[in-house]
Amino acid sequence: MTSPAPVTSAFSRPFTIDRSLDVPVGAQLRGQLEYGIACGEIPRGTRLPSVRELSQELGVAHVTVAQTYKELLGAGLIVTARGRGTYVADAPRVPAGPDHARLRNLMSECIRQAQHEGFTLRQIGEVTQVLLARGGATPATGVSIVLVGLFADATRSYAADLQPFLRPEDHVQAVTLGELRLGENLDVARSADVVLALAHRLSDTQALLASVDVIPVGFIPSQETRAALAAVSPLSRVALVTTFEEFLPTFLGGVKRFAPHVSNLMTTHLHSPGLQAVLEGADVIVHATGSEMVRDLVPGKPAFEYRHMIDPRDVEGLVLPAVDARRKEP
């Protein structure tokens, strides 16, 4: 297996299995690992407990933990090193940007050649300024970026959030995995300068875009989400609705983190037979991205989305270096 980068920390936040949830134990464990990694709660390079350690800690079957690790290994979210353990996969290496040392050498050689032919440094400087001014008048060629997400509206929102970090001539286009599976926007994604994907959907994206380098980016709860949760009344009965049932334990943990004052929390998922009853018994509904339709089931009831944003650390550490490396200067 691929060896991980030097470990940054050992995992300290305990996993939990909530046996009151109508979610299989294996799905709960995978969800906490998958979304914990994607949302940055389990940092890259972190050493994870061994299969035996985690099995004993949670009181679940050894084979359940082993299968979960096997699935995450196949998805590229974790790596193993013989004799060292299991780690969260490190960030991908971003291609190096322009070689400024080579540029200095080229310019120095040009100046030396001009001096050898009798031109003064002042003359060389004046001509250089003219050439630079002409070059600056040429429209810059922007970098084309494709962001692959799960849901169209959310992915467009992530793309819009990313745009301010880029130059005006750069362009970010939102594409969903569903579109790629249908053969839509495949050419757009394959011809893009930079392709980004949700960290926990990296393997799915790579399978659809063979031979394309895909950069995984993590996500964190948006500022609006954190503020909305903090504003919920402590007396409210809150229904938490996820699109995918394996996200329930992580979703519940996130809400408790940002709304610790709320104790009456009911959990369900979009395809649960008891969904309607949970919604009707709640004062406030908090739904995951992709579960917007629950608003139509109880019209008029206060509801808001648990929306994420691209982790700014990945924007600075992965996205911008990749964009700079592929920038086409005039």
* DSSP tag of 302: -
Query: Does the 144-220+311-325 domain belong in CATH 3.40.50.2300?
Result: yes
Radius of gyration of the CA atoms of the chain, in A? 25
* DSSP tag of 49: P
Burial of 114 (0-12, 13-18, 19+ CB in 10 A): middle
Per-residue pLDDT of 257-295, as tens digits, reads: 899 999 999 999 998 999 999 999 999 999 999 999 999
Domains 144-220+311-325 and 223-306 share a fold: yes
Which CATH code for domain 223-306?
3.40.50
Written as six digits, the tokens of 4 are: 């991980």
DSSP-derived pairing of the beta strands 85-88 and 78-81: antiparallel
pTM of the model: 0.73
Look at the domain 25-88 and name its fold. Answer: Arc Repressor Mutant, subunit A (1.10.10)
Per-residue pLDDT of 186-222, as tens digits, reads: 999 999 999 999 988 888 999 999 889 999 999 899 9
Q: Domain boundaries in the chain?
A: 25-88, 100-136, 144-220+311-325, 223-306
291 with 241: CB under 8 angstroms?
yes
CA 233, chain centre distance (Å) = 31
219 with 309: CB under 8 angstroms?
yes
* DSSP tag of 328: B
* Whole-number pLDDT of residue 254: 87
| CA-based nearest residue to 327, from 143, 195, 135 | 143
